[in-house]
Amino acid sequence: MDQVFPRSHRPAESAHGVSLSEAFWVWLRVSLLSFGGPAGQIAVMHRIIVDEKKWVSEGRFYLGSITPPARAAAAP
Task: Spell out the domain ranges in the chain.
Answer: 17-74
Q: Whole-prediction pTM value?
A: 0.60
Is the alpha carbon torsion for 67, 69, 74, 76 positive or negative?
positive
Cβ(40)–Cβ(34) under 8 Å?
A: yes
Backbone phi and psi for residue 16, each to the nearest 5 degrees, phi listed first: -125, -5
Q: What is the pLDDT of residues 12-68, one digit of tens each?
A: 445 678 899 999 999 899 888 887 777 788 888 889 999 999 998 988 888 876 655
User: Whole-angstrom Cα distance, residue 72 to residue 5?
Assistant: 39
Cβ(30)–Cβ(41) under 8 Å?
A: yes
